[in-house]
């Protein structure tokens, strides 16, 4: 491949890595040089003994940032959601979840497999919010025939779409009225907060527990955090141990997460702006339609029969994923305006020459 080994700078951040313009996901984002320095110098200890100052610092800071009592650092968003579900629900309980939600669709059925928790799916609206009427009518009566409904689970953002504060608090009312826990899969809560111009804690506020990812648009290599009340987080910490997620000198990656929280939240506005520019640019290419642009994601459709776009764009140094003639392109801190021009030009060349 022609596109190996470049050192590059984006909006004041620098990297020394081998890279293409990678639009497959924001999970591909690479640690910056500054983050690598922080990792190299991180103070560490045995986190299972609660001895790791970098983990303790990160947990305290994340709890503060999200306005909750306590936090637990976990290996992934999947593990974070699972620990939360298992902390809220017992064996034979049920949780209400969007029918396209990550927790239900893309986490291997972990709640059912490892938690013995039954998912009850609920249709989602255009914003990604659950249809609360449908959610309410799915709540089971207290009767031996039924699983016990214990938890209402929301995701923000979903496909880059932002659920606003009013809808989130309507969900809270339903949860409280029916004595359900209220959990947010906030893998990209940071993008929602930046898009709504509110503090991260404003989005977390109505929820008991919130899971956030550090390894997506924030650019940390690994890690998620679950926040919530001390009692639930203690329970989640026990499940994390059982799931094999308690790690030792893990301050090396916690330090990267701390650096990301301190330096990479506000800059998500750049990704949103770049997503808008990419959407506008691609919309000018003949044959391309942009279905939607939400926060840092652009959903693109090209004419039927435009085949091998993955390979053809790779020749231009662009990494994309296609499902038939559709692609979800995701912006992150490794993509700048120049890259967007490159992508628009390459798509035009491949489709129209
Ligand atoms: C990525 C993602 C997760 C899971 O995070 P991993 O770290 O990949 O396990 C959960 N929920 C949503 C909405 C996500 O986008």
pLDDT score recorded for residue 353: 85
pLDDT band at 1 (very low <50, low <70, confident <90, very high): very low
pLDDT score recorded for residue 3: 45
pLDDT score recorded for residue 199: 98
Q: For ligand 1, what atom is nearest to the CA of residue 215?
A: 7
In contact, 68 and 210? CB cutoff 8 Å: yes
- Domain match, 145 and 285 both: no
| Residue 91 CA from chain centroid, whole number | 27
pLDDT at 18 over 50: yes
pLDDT score recorded for residue 307: 84
Instruction: List all residues 6 or more positions away from 54 whose beta carbon is below 8 Å from its beta carbon.
Output: 42, 43, 44, 251, 252, 254, 255, 258
Q: For ligand 1, what atom is nearest to the CA of residue 158?
A: 13
Structure tokens, 247: 């790690």
pLDDT digit string, tens, across residues 276-295 = 999 999 999 999 999 998 99
> What is the number of structural domains in the chain?
2
| Residue 122 CA from chain centroid, whole number | 20
- Domain match, 257 and 289 both: no
In contact, 259 and 292? CB cutoff 8 Å: no
Q: For ligand 1, what atom is nearest to the CA of residue 75?
A: 7
pLDDT band at 19 (very low <50, low <70, confident <90, very high): confident
CA of 81 to the centre of ligand 1 (A): 9
- Domain match, 214 and 137 both: yes
Instruction: List all residues 6 or more positions away from 295 whose beta carbon is below 8 Å from its beta carbon.
Output: 157, 160, 161, 162, 188, 191, 192, 194, 195, 268, 271, 272, 275
Q: Cis omega before residue 157 (within 30°)? A: yes
- Domain match, 217 and 292 both: no
Q: With a 6 A CB cut-off, is 156 part of the ligand 1 pocket?
A: no
CA of 1 to the centre of ligand 1 (A): 30
pLDDT digit string, tens, across residues 151-206 = 999 999 999 999 999 999 999 999 999 999 999 999 999 999 999 999 999 999 99
- Domain match, 240 and 335 both: no
Range of the domain at 150: 33-263
Of 243, 263, 283, the position where a domain reaches its end is 263
Q: Distance (Å, rounded) from C-alpha 326 to C-alpha 218?
A: 26
Residue in 137, 134, 136, 76 with CA at minimum distance from that of residue 107: 76
Of 263, 288, 308, the position where a domain reaches its end is 263
- Domain match, 220 and 276 both: no
CA of 113 to the centre of ligand 1 (A): 18
Instruction: List all residues 6 or more positions away from 219 whose beta carbon is below 8 Å from its beta carbon.
Output: 29, 30, 31, 32, 35, 260, 264, 332, 333, 334
pLDDT at 89 over 80: yes
pTM of the model: 0.95
DSSP class per residue in 35-47: HHHHHHT-----G
């Amino acid at each position: 491949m022609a596109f190996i080994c470049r050192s590059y700078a984006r909006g004041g951040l620098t990297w020394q890595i081998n890279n293409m313009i990678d639009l497959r996901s924001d999970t591909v984002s690479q640690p910056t040089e500054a983050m690598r320095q922080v990792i190299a110098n991180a103070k560490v200890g045995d986190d299972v003994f609660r001895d790791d100052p970098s983990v303790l610092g990160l947990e305290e800071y994340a709890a503060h940032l999200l306005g909750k009592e306590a936090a637990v650092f976990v290996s992934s968003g999947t593990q974070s959601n699972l620990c939360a579900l298992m902390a809220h629900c017992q064996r034979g309980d049920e949780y209400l979840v969007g029918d396209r939600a990550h927790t239900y669709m893309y986490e291997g059925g972990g709640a059912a497999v490892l938690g013995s928790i039954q998912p009850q799916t609920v249709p989602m609206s255009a914003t990604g919010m659950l249809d609360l009427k449908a959610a309410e009518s799915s709540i089971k009566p207290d009767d031996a025939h039924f699983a016990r409904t214990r938890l209402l689970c929301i995701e923000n953002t979903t496909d880059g779409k932002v659920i606003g504060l009013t809808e989130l608090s309507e969900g809270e009312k339903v949860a409280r009225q029916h004595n359900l826990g209220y959990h947010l899969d906030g893998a990209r809560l940071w993008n929602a907060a930046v898009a709504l111009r509110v503090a991260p804690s404003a989005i977390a506020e109505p929820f008991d527990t919130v899971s956030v990812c550090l390894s997506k648009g924030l650019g940390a290599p690994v890690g998620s955090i679950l926040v919530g009340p001390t009692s639930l987080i203690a329970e989640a910490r026990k499940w994390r141990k059982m799931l094999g997620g308690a790690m030792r000198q893990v301050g090396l990656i916690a330090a990267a997460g701390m650096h990301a929280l301190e330096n990479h939240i506000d800059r998500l506005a750049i990704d949103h702006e770049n997503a808008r520019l990419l959407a506008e640019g691609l919309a000018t290419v003949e044959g391309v339609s942009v279905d939607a642009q939400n926060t840092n994601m652009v959903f693109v459709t090209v004419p039927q029969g435009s085949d091998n776009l993955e390979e053809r764009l790779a020749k231009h140094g662009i990494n994309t994923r296609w499902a038939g003639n559709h692609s979800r392109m995701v912006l992150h801190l490794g993509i700048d305006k120049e890259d967007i021009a490159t992508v628009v030009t390459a798509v035009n060349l491949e489709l129209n020459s």
